[in-house]
Structure 1
């Protein structure tokens, strides 16, 4: 074949390839699918279904955030995520942070079963099929430390007394696993826990001289601390082995001070301790007589470790939200309150005695043994509670209004901070105005964060309940659409909707739930 003809054929072939997107021409990508360059934004890889494969190949450790541009929690995470990326970039080129715009990448959200935002998944060694769910902190150093402990070692191997003592001296809380055989499965359990206990430093040893130095004769996990009793031992059960859940609870309990002062730094750990009973001493730290009460409070704490968490709340600090939750005024300090975090039941001393170790101990035992009854919060009844279309209910007038046998009472249980409640407020006002002249119908509302009702737990906001006239104390929970037309049909039909009416979507998500007033309590406290 002569030269000119061969040249023409080559040009035609190149043109065809370019049109099919497989050549270097402007009509197609410069690389094969999966080989597209991965863009970056603030040091974070920006991924799509075309570039995820390449990112997994190039980075042995990859944490991917699936986010939505409109998501408030995603926006709150963004600056911390950027800081974490910078921290890791300074340490290693192998560990990277990435993000995926979930709504714009439905293929990826479906592949990785993303149902909420933000969702973070950790990919290791290019494995696309089984990423680990990220359940760690949402602040920069915590994110970076979580990744460090998965990519590197979560523990320090201790070979001699000098190394062990140096580790103990360098940190407030150190956990050392003493195992005679480092190949034992209990060691794997210990290492797995160390990956996630980010606020503690871990060591590991099998050296006989270290067993001897610390007075041990069998496998034991020891927590060393620079406060309270200084040390706590957790022997490994010789028959059952090391239980990760039991060890985790032990470490959380014993890594905390016997008495913890409540503030923004300590509150996450207070709730993470998973101790359901909390005893709170409210004092004014600016007053010397109040400070003197701490001695008796601390003296009472040791026998209750693991059962009751002792907490000090300074009423002179920025803790008004805590006072409000317990229905207290700063002037009432010093005083005690006891709360069970699972039931949210609150208790107060029956007598106002001096805060001594004996008095604190007696109060604790009385609550735990059921001798003290819980108290319920209630606001005072407003003088004009019934002067507006929407009647105002509180704990003290709820019974007489809700169970009035001559009235049909429709009540909105709300939280002042609830966005869904705020959005529904105009409709609720319009409903009350519409039925203002109906003597047998009352439209009312009750702030469920400031008024507690026995037998009527409220788990989501807004919660709507209908109390029909007549005997029997009947209660109907309203679960349909929250618009004026549907509300009216419900009332006109005697507290039920025609069967063809569509059911409402599931209850409002976080944060408008009181399975969150303890979540709300955790966030605010």
Structure 2
């Protein structure tokens, strides 16, 4: 009796430990190649056991493997600490890296790292860009994913069919597409061709596009209706909103706030009124307080509200002395849409200039950088080790060109305390970043050389519009002792 109980326990444990993820670690290069070559479609994770992101992905990856097994879509993993040759051969330089393989040909995985995202993405990959929809599979197909687009078109309408198929090929990773030319299906779906219906698992559940259907109208239609009216935003779905091309309105509220749903629901009518002009989201202020700060919401006071235009690199925080109520948010959004609100630019106060390097702040950015002087700006963070190492070299550079301050500005800009104005036309994504603008031009040039004094000096003398040679260099040039380094000189 006890033996049978033990065997039952072991069997149960085996079921628990069983995995539908294929482990390619021990199979080596040959086993890996056999697996991907033999698979018409497969997903492979390249991971390291110590990687925190890999550990977070693991349960979602396991669940997805079990679900996708029913669709004959294999999911595999390979430990790059043991199979280094395989991983280096696939160009893996970070963990986890996920790749989709079709008969041995790799493509980057572009879905989310949650179970439903992995399943949805791989199912889309398994289907043609556009699936045939008939009366027999219509109900199943329209609920097969979070967002499904079905075109109901007469069989003779080749123009609409072609536009829909072209759009589907361009966005097959984003949505599930179906095409029906069957009159019985059209009748059952209560449509009049040509018509495209978006079926979705959120909000109103269905949106219709009628009349003339083109790639442009499909793009606008999908952009407006494919995201929820007001959903939570996180790293998993941020790209969807960032690529939507319209401003993003955030409600910052703790996820464990007892009134969270009440606060969010109060803003939904505002979101509905401006649908297609702004996307509204709520975000966990406990996890993403730093993002609130980056939108110039300075006080840790929640709830808070802000609008961000990712494309224009501008931000519009609601005054934190005001409640995040329907009326306050509605008035703020109305003024934003009407262009009555100026973007918020965080800036330090302009300091007294007493060092070899000009201290540039956001409030003076346009004034200083649009003059008749050449300018080199270091965008830095006080905590950045590379910036600290550059500091004495940069100070020396400022001292060397101190005699031509009327022609050249050597400046530094604390990008943690100042916003780079949208007029600059670029974003700073790492520190230190060095940018140069020649006098009389609008173009910023990135400095990509090494951070030695000699290289920085040569870069300035080569790219400056103004004559910035020091008196000693100028004298040496006249005596023929040095080559002409300035970017502005006469040919002899």
TM-score by length of 2: 0.62
Q: Give deviations 1:216-255, integer Å, cap 9, x for gaps.
A: 1213222234543332112363xxx553x65355335313
| The one of 280, 295, 299 aligned to 1:310 | 280
8 Å CA contact 2:68, 2:119 repeated in 1: no
SS in 2 for 1:486: helix
| Residues 57 and 230 of structure 1, relative CA distance in 2, 3 Å threshold | closer
Deviation at 1:64, TM superposition (A): 7.3
| Residues 453 and 47 of structure 1, relative CA distance in 2, 3 Å threshold | same
| Residues 83 and 242 of structure 1, relative CA distance in 2, 3 Å threshold | farther
Deviation at 1:41, TM superposition (A): 8.9
SS in 2 for 1:196: coil
Deviation at 1:342, TM superposition (A): 0.8
Q: Paired residue for 1:178?
A: 152
SS in 1 for 2:392: helix
| Residues 302 and 486 of structure 1, relative CA distance in 2, 3 Å threshold | same
| Residues 500 and 108 of structure 1, relative CA distance in 2, 3 Å threshold | farther
For 1:56 and 1:221, how far apart are their aligned partners in 2? 37
| Residues 60 and 332 of structure 1, relative CA distance in 2, 3 Å threshold | closer
For 1:289 and 1:87, how far apart are their aligned partners in 2? 37
Q: Paired residue for 2:24?
A: 43
8 Å CA contact 1:431, 1:488 repeated in 2: no
Q: Give deviations 1:50-82, integer Å, cap 9, x for gaps.
A: 8898667644345678x899xx99989996998
| Residues 44 and 94 of structure 1, relative CA distance in 2, 3 Å threshold | farther
For 1:261 and 1:53, how far apart are their aligned partners in 2? 40
| The one of 379, 391, 394 aligned to 1:413 | 379
Structure 1 gaps, min length 5: 1-39, 502-525
For 1:451 and 1:256, how far apart are their aligned partners in 2? 33
SS in 2 for 1:301: helix
| Residues 252 and 97 of structure 1, relative CA distance in 2, 3 Å threshold | farther
| Residues 410 and 80 of structure 1, relative CA distance in 2, 3 Å threshold | farther
For 2:437 and 2:194, how far apart are their aligned partners in 1? 61
Q: Paired residue for 1:224?
A: 199
Q: Paired residue for 2:102?
A: 123
The answer as to 2:227 corresponding to 1:256 is yes
8 Å CA contact 2:40, 2:101 repeated in 1: no
For 1:314 and 1:82, how far apart are their aligned partners in 2? 25
Give me the CA root mean square deviation: 5.8
Q: Paired residue for 2:413?
A: 446
Q: Give deviations 1:387-413, integer Å, cap 9, x for gaps.
A: 9887765325667988999x9975311
For 2:302 and 2:107, how far apart are their aligned partners in 1? 45
| The one of 323, 341, 365 aligned to 2:292 | 323
Q: Paired residue for 2:362?
A: 395
For 1:85 and 1:214, how far apart are their aligned partners in 2? 31
Work out the number of aligned pairs and report it. Answer: 432
Q: Paired residue for 2:456?
A: 487
Larger CA Rg, structure 1 vs 2? 1
Structure 2 gaps, min length 5: 1-20, 474-481, 486-492
| The one of 415, 422, 433 aligned to 1:463 | 433
Q: Paired residue for 2:111?
A: 137
For 1:365 and 1:89, how far apart are their aligned partners in 2? 46
Deviation at 1:181, TM superposition (A): 3.7
Q: Paired residue for 1:29?
A: none
Deviation at 1:476, TM superposition (A): 7.9
8 Å CA contact 1:47, 1:99 repeated in 2: no
Deviation at 1:482, TM superposition (A): 1.5
The answer as to 2:209 corresponding to 1:234 is yes
| Residues 47 and 276 of structure 1, relative CA distance in 2, 3 Å threshold | farther
Q: Paired residue for 1:269?
A: 240
